Amino acid sequence: MPRTPDEILDEFIKLLNFHYNHDDASIQHHSYKGVFFRLCREASVNGYFEPSSNFRFTGEALNDRLSERWTKANSKREKLLTSVLAMWDEWRYVLEQPI
């Protein structure tokens, strides 16, 4: 059964917290980046990139939704989120392209 948008968002926040709390877990490392990519692909497969989706998983929409649940209280948190959302939108762009 596919995860709901809220379940994907919960996992996204869990991953952000992990990376924020572990200095040795660089978001640029392939294995860590891959976990976020799998979430992005899951959102795509479940139709959450579609304009008709109740929660469209764009970087901007994620940023807006995260402002309610994951505060950017300092520059380290803001830098992490900016980096992840930039990758997310790049992946989303690729996943939306016709094959």
Q: What are the structural domain ranges in the chain?
A: 5-96
70 vs 17: CA distance, rounded Å: 9
Q: Would you state the pLDDT for residue 30?
A: 64
**Does residue 8 register a pLDDT over 90?**
yes
pLDDT in tens, 29-54: 666 788 999 999 999 999 999 989 98
Amino acid at 72: K
CB-based burial of residue 58 (10 Å sphere; 0-12 exposed, 13-18 middle, 19+ buried)? middle
